[in-house]
Amino acid sequence: MKKIFALTVATGFIACGPTPEKFIEKSQQALAREDYDAALLFMKNAYELSLPKEFFITKRDLSFSFLRASHDGQKILLIEKKLAKKAFESTRAMVINRAKENKQEKTQIPGKIRDVNFAPDGNFAVFLQQPGEQIKDCKIWLWQVEQNKTSEIGGTHCVTKPAVKNDGTVWYLKNDQIHVFNPTSGKDTLFNKGAKPEKSAKKFPAYAHFYSAPDNKVWMIYGAAGSYRLYQLGEKQKLVSKDIAASKLYLVSESKIAGVFVGGAGNQQFVTLNPKDSQIGRRMKAKVWGDAAFINDRQFYYIEDGVLAFRSGSSETELPFWAEQIAIGVKDELLFLSSTGSAMRYIHKSPPAESLKIYNKAVEIDDSKS
């Protein structure tokens, strides 16, 4: 889905010093060596540095590995991006509260962050922390943001994904049993009396990916290698579907509807599920996206082949950005982590024409790599 983005904006571009030009020069030198990966990376940096400050959530020289947002888009969680040789040193985390004049809360997690999940209200964050490269079991850390309290609460396999609810309870899997940690009491209990969820393939290990919804429900996708089951966890464990194709669940922002991929390889469909009765509401053919973020069940952003796009009904528009993670901010604004690690925002305003010229050149380099 790589296309040249049309130059539709007539506004000029005021360079922020020589930095974009230097990256362009480095890109040209890399092209002369036929090093297309380096040339593309230099051009991406040149493009981002040419953009106005309004396209950035933080300073442009900061780089992050994770971006999450609260359900209302007012709180943004960012995890610093580190060099590989420093991957297992302490990692810094930051929450920006936009409702309080961008007030920042910060903490440090002692090791490599494999994943992070934000409570829907943004008052808690749960981290999956890997102590060492060869270690398969990760530690679970809970950050009570407003109290600025961070504590280790348990352990689980590094492939799994814990979730945290608005009440601070953390949901995770250990020894094929669902655990619930309560930070108020400090107790860890077994959900559903420790009954193990049913696997798709009994002879193979299964991993759990938990998602906390704004309506206080917890969803769990359980399985491995394209064969998953979807559960809804309330008073009891409810099997919703045996036909899940990917471990990612998306929450449709406006109506709190869950969306998942179903079907076999090459024949996937994206479906939305009504949280009241778990019945399928809408189907569409789609590739398994790198990430997606929903305004409602007909308007959403998604990443395909590393490129951002927006869909409204049957209409699709490619956006001039490379992205890795996305979320919905306030007033349908898009928050995203660029492929270089910049924390950025898109408010339906096109970049300046001079910036788009750099973007188009980067797309040409990207196409030549294919």
Q: Do the domain assignments include residue 363?
A: yes
Q: Do the domain assignments include residue 32?
A: yes
The predicted structure's pLDDT at residue 253: 62
Q: Model-level pTM greater than 0.75?
A: yes
If one counts the domains in the chain, the total is: 2
Q: Do the domain assignments include residue 296?
A: yes
The predicted structure's pLDDT at residue 255: 61
Q: Do the domain assignments include residue 169?
A: no
Q: Do the domain assignments include residue 343?
A: yes
Claim to verify: residue 296 and residue 320 sit in the same structural domain:
yes
Q: Do the domain assignments include residue 14?
A: yes
On whether the CB atoms of residues 219 and 206 are closer than 8 A, the answer is: no
The predicted structure's pLDDT at residue 29: 96
User: What span, in angstroms and rounded, lies between the C-alpha atoms of 362 and 343?
Assistant: 20
Q: Do the domain assignments include residue 111?
A: no
Claim to verify: residue 296 and residue 344 sit in the same structural domain:
yes
- pLDDT one-digit tens code per residue, 198-251: 887 777 889 999 999 988 889 999 998 888 999 999 888 899 888 888 899 998
Token readout for 302 is: 């998604």
Query: Which residues form the domain of 25?
Result: 1-52+351-370
Low-confidence ranges of the chain (pLDDT < 70): 1-18, 253-256, 264-266, 370
Q: Do the domain assignments include residue 22?
A: yes
- pLDDT one-digit tens code per residue, 126-151: 999 998 888 889 999 999 999 999 99
User: What span, in angstroms and rounded, lies between the C-alpha atoms of 321 and 337?
Assistant: 10
